[in-house]
Amino acid sequence: MKHAAPRPAGDLLLQPAPRAGVLLPLPLSGAYDYKLPKGTNAARGLLVSAPIGPREALGAVWGAAEGSVGDNRLKEAVPLAGLPALSHKLCDFVDWVASYTLSPPGMILAMVLRSAKAFAPETMRTAYVRGGATPKRLTPARARVLAVAEDGLARSVPSLAEEAGASPAVVRGLIESGALAATQLPEFAAFAVPDPALAAAALNGDQRRAADALKADVAAQRFAVSLLDGVTGSGKTEVYFEAIAEALRRERQVLILLPEIALTVQFLERFAERFGCRPAEWHSDLSSKERTRTYRAVMNGDARVVVGARSSLFLPFRALGLIVIDEEHEQAFKQEDGVIYHARDMAVVRARFEQCPVVLASATPSLETYVNALSGRYAHRRLYGRHGAATLPVTRLIDLRHEKTEAGSWLSPPLRDAVSATLAAGEQAMLFLNRRGYAPLTLCAGCGHKMTCRDCSSWLVEHRYRKRLACHQCGYETATPPRCPACNAQGTLIACGPGVERVAEEFGVLFPQARVAIASSDTMHGPLQTQAAIRAMARREIDVLIGTQIVAKGHHFPQLTLVGVIDADLGGSDGDLRARERTFQLLHQVAGRAGRAEKPGLVLMQTRNPADLVMAALAAGDRDAFYEQERVFRERAGAPPFGRLAAIILSSHDSVAVQEAGRTMARAAPAAKGVKVWGPTPAFYHLLRGQTRERLLVQAERNVDVQAYLRAWLAAVKVPNKVRVAVDVDPVSFF
């Protein structure tokens, strides 16, 4: 046997292949062992392509390999070329969220690796500039295209065609003739860099103090949580813009989380006015291309400011220097499907891993945040009053028990009078009702049959303009039937209660001369019409806006002086722990729309419970009185944030199996000090999308490790495969 020449010690060929535990973006219990090409530095976060079954998956080196399987039996994962790894901070965050939410870590990694294409090698794209040749035949369309190309910018065929108002064939003809020449550009246009110095506001005293404190946190690159607390119009946005400017000066990235991405156009424009360009966006409506472009730019640091929905929290920022969560109390931050998590709470955790400050902005903070600010755990930065001449509106209650209103009428005489006066003064009014459609319930006057969803335990909501009944839980729709499906009588179906469309109908009869629009997320209008209605209101092209909670948020209507709340009791005391808080927040926010400029505002709320805590606090304009009583109430009840809650939701198409699984789980609940288990009970929507749902609720004292309790419990029971088990730690809704 011939001996190979001796090789120097440390030669790669003599060493075994490096191996590592690789986490894949799949619902697996943990990382899987792979070998890596020789010479690979298997650092945590290194992105690899790993074979799994018949396909390749994107994954990340997560830690040391655990098994002792021989090299020949391990599959090889190959590092992706030329790409940054995920930071250790981000990997640690993924593990933390997985553990907190009791989710497989791979499912959290899947939220990080949201754009698979972003990891493919960067390609070039062909664009065209003016070429040397002159076309023989110069039609008007050709001339327009060449005129567009005159500025020397390289453009794609579609954008040349669009800008010139010509067909792509015209552009291609010019390319063939040599009048346009091809050039290669990077696949994606670069992001503009916001200019921190462009248009800073001259802050007032409160604003300056708050901004300075936030800027100091940004400058120190330290973890700190601040509640930026002030009524709408107090300048919270201006203040956190200063913190953003500070982060930009220090070349750090910023994440701004907003609750409803549909409402960001105004925000993006305002940002552009302050910083000279729009920020990058991240939400579910992005095209796959935009997604790839933004993801890459976030990863390499070129996207300096990202505005996004909750999923943007998992983006791989290169140098995150600040997180802002605007309207931090909004429930939209809670993700209820798949991995159930609260983006506000997880943002605070991410900031801790990144060692950067986080700002929670709200006029009506969540009780959790309020208590944290009160106890000093969060810094409390308060802005008192509105900026400039704007004053806070006066709120008055209209006691519907004493106001005589005829049946089928939703506007009481005092509200009608106030609308008349407002219109006579040439000012604007808004009527608010948090109910979409025409009527929330349709029933048969003959037999009493209620029209309900085929798949859910919810009423079908009539949408009269579209002549349809719709389920607002699952989207099921059907034409309004001519006969009652139960007793077959004709013409007996009647609408019960008001939705915004019905209020608009009555309004039209009362005030035929007023210019009015409806804004609701799903009327016949749709989101575009809603945006148009809101714009028309802001430009004073209409007199009255009638809307659902979509009108409550963030809009600035300078001429709006009257807000009428049709039913302030809606969503009131229905046993839900947070019902009072939510009602207060929503009504406070709606009221805040009135009198934002120089003219004072009036808010009229129709209620049957004027003595209720929420109503009394609103009428008195005493926000802190509400918070204080709610705090005491929660503390006595051991409710969050003074105690902890977690829900287990079981669901299945097999209703018997779900109920059986619920009982099995309840019997298996471990006894533990400071822990109570409630249920199983049918969930609020005990039928949802055709699935039967049961809930169990864990209530624990604050020092209890709820996750450990849940893990032990879940490990002790075997639930049949057809029953899905979801864990909701810190539930905010109870559906």
Q: How far apart are CB 534 and ligand ADP at their closest, in Å?
A: 16
Q: How far is CA 513 from the centre of its chain?
A: 38
Cα pseudo-dihedral 8, 9, 14, 20, rounded to 10: -140
Give the C-alpha distances (Å, rounded to integers) separating 176 from 112, 151, 181, 414, 628. 44, 21, 9, 73, 75
* Smaller CB separation from ligand ADP, 232 or 652: 232
Q: How far apart are CB 626 and ligand ADP at their closest, in Å?
A: 19
Residues in the interface with ligand ADP (CB under 6 A) total 15
Q: How far apart are CB 325 and ligand ADP at their closest, in Å?
A: 13
Count of helix runs (H) and strand runs (E) in the chain: 19, 31
Among 87, 115, 237, 549, binds ligand ADP (CB under 6 A): 237
> Which residue in this structure is represented by tokens 């907190």?
100
* Smaller CB separation from ligand ADP, 326 or 581: 326
Q: Which window, 92-100, 153-161, 173-181, 196-204, contacts ligand ADP (CB under 6 A)?
A: 196-204
Helices (H), 105-259: 105-112, 140-149, 157-164, 168-176, 205-220, 236-249
Binding site partner of 476, from Zn ion, ligand ADP, none, Cβ cut-off 5-8 A by kind: Zn ion
* Smaller CB separation from ligand ADP, 25 or 235: 235
What's the token pair of residue 567?
């039913």
Q: Pattern 451-470, binding to ligand ADP, x per CB under 6 A?
A: --------------------
Q: How far apart are CB 265 and ligand ADP at their closest, in Å?
A: 15
| 559 touching ligand ADP, by CB under 6 A | no
Collapsing DSSP to helix, strand or coil, 569 comes out as coil
Q: How many CA atoms lie within 13 A of 184 on its CB side?
A: 3
| 234 touching ligand ADP, by CB under 6 A | yes
Q: Is the dihedral of CA 30, 345, 652, 706 positive or negative?
A: positive
Q: How far apart are CB 686 and Zn ion at their closest, in Å?
A: 12
| 232 touching ligand ADP, by CB under 6 A | yes
Q: Pattern 238-257, binding to ligand ADP, x per CB under 6 A?
A: x-------------------
Q: How far is CA 446 from the centre of its chain?
A: 44
> Which residue in this structure is represented by tokens 């993801």?
295
Q: How far apart are CB 395 and ligand ADP at their closest, in Å?
A: 18
Collapsing DSSP to helix, strand or coil, 604 comes out as strand
Give the C-alpha distances (Å, rounded to integers) separating 258 from 7, 346, 494. 60, 14, 40
Among 201, 219, 486, 725, binds ligand ADP (CB under 6 A): 201
| 387 touching ligand ADP, by CB under 6 A | yes
Binding site partner of 582, from ligand ADP, Zn ion, none, Cβ cut-off 5-8 A by kind: none
Q: Pattern 144-183, binding to ligand ADP, x per CB under 6 A?
A: ----------------------------------------
Find residue 704's DSSP bridge partners. none
What type of residue sits at position 253?
A: Q
What's the token pair of residue 458?
């919810």
Contact 58, 113 (CB under 8 A): yes
* Smaller CB separation from ligand ADP, 87 or 234: 234
Binding site partner of 188, from Zn ion, ligand ADP, none, Cβ cut-off 5-8 A by kind: none
Residues 6+ apart with CB under 8 A from 210: 228, 239, 381, 382, 383
DSSP for 311-345 reads GGGGS--SSEEEEEEETTT-GGGEE-SSS-EEHHH
* Smaller CB separation from ligand ADP, 304 or 387: 387
Residues 6+ apart with CB under 8 A from 248: 194, 195, 196, 254, 275, 304, 305
Q: How far apart are CB 225 and ligand ADP at their closest, in Å?
A: 19
Among 21, 45, 196, 230, binds ligand ADP (CB under 6 A): 230
Q: Which window, 226-234, 284-292, 582-590, 677-685, contacts ligand ADP (CB under 6 A)?
A: 226-234
Q: How far apart are CB 638 and Zn ion at their closest, in Å?
A: 34
* Smaller CB separation from ligand ADP, 387 or 580: 387
* Smaller CB separation from Zn ion, 419 or 687: 687
Q: Which window, 197-205, 438-446, 578-586, 642-650, contacts ligand ADP (CB under 6 A)?
A: 197-205
Q: How many CA atoms lie within 13 A of 623 on its CB side?
A: 21
Run of H or E including 127: strand 124-130
Find residue 325's DSSP bridge partners. 257, 360
* Smaller CB separation from ligand ADP, 226 or 232: 232
Contact 86, 316 (CB under 8 A): yes
Calpha distance 302→277 (Å, rounded):
14
* Smaller CB separation from ligand ADP, 56 or 598: 598
Binding site partner of 235, from ligand ADP, Zn ion, none, Cβ cut-off 5-8 A by kind: ligand ADP
For residues 675-714, which are near ligand ADP according to CB under 6 A?
none
Q: How far apart are CB 575 and Zn ion at their closest, in Å?
A: 22
Binding site partner of 232, from ligand ADP, Zn ion, none, Cβ cut-off 5-8 A by kind: ligand ADP
Among 21, 105, 235, 679, binds ligand ADP (CB under 6 A): 235
* Smaller CB separation from ligand ADP, 369 or 412: 369
Binding site partner of 453, from ligand ADP, Zn ion, none, Cβ cut-off 5-8 A by kind: Zn ion
Q: Pattern 202-221, binding to ligand ADP, x per CB under 6 A?
A: xxx--x--------------
Binding site partner of 238, from Zn ion, ligand ADP, none, Cβ cut-off 5-8 A by kind: ligand ADP
Nearest Cα neighbor of 528 from 506, 556, 550, 544 is 550
Calpha distance 734→652 (Å, rounded):
18
| 561 touching ligand ADP, by CB under 6 A | no
Binding site partner of 474, from ligand ADP, Zn ion, none, Cβ cut-off 5-8 A by kind: Zn ion
Among 233, 393, 640, 679, binds ligand ADP (CB under 6 A): 233
Angle at 344 between CA 343 and CA 345, to 5 degrees: 95
Give the C-alpha distances (Å, rounded to integers) separating 129 from 148, 164, 169, 395, 703. 10, 14, 16, 62, 67
* Smaller CB separation from ligand ADP, 238 or 302: 238
Q: Long-range contacts for 485-490 (Cβ within 8 Å, ≥24 apart)?
A: 485/449, 485/451, 486/444, 486/447, 486/449, 487/444, 487/446, 487/447, 487/449, 489/444, 489/446, 489/447
Q: For the chain, what's the residue count?
A: 735
* Smaller CB separation from ligand ADP, 204 or 311: 204
Q: How far apart are CB 472 and Zn ion at their closest, in Å?
A: 8
For residues 497-556, which are near ligand ADP according to CB under 6 A?
556
Burial of 293 (0-12, 13-18, 19+ CB in 10 A): buried
Residues 6+ apart with CB under 8 A from 195: 248, 275, 276, 277
Q: Which window, 135-143, 232-240, 496-504, 637-645, contacts ligand ADP (CB under 6 A)?
A: 232-240
Nearest Cα neighbor of 145 from 185, 183, 172 is 172
| 272 touching ligand ADP, by CB under 6 A | no
* Smaller CB separation from Zn ion, 52 or 474: 474
The binding site for Zn ion (CB under 5 A) comprises 453, 455-456, 471, 473-474, 476
* Smaller CB separation from ligand ADP, 389 or 671: 389
| 236 touching ligand ADP, by CB under 6 A | yes
Binding site partner of 473, from ligand ADP, Zn ion, none, Cβ cut-off 5-8 A by kind: Zn ion
The site for ligand ADP (CB under 6 A) is made up of 201-204, 207, 230, 232-238, 387, 556
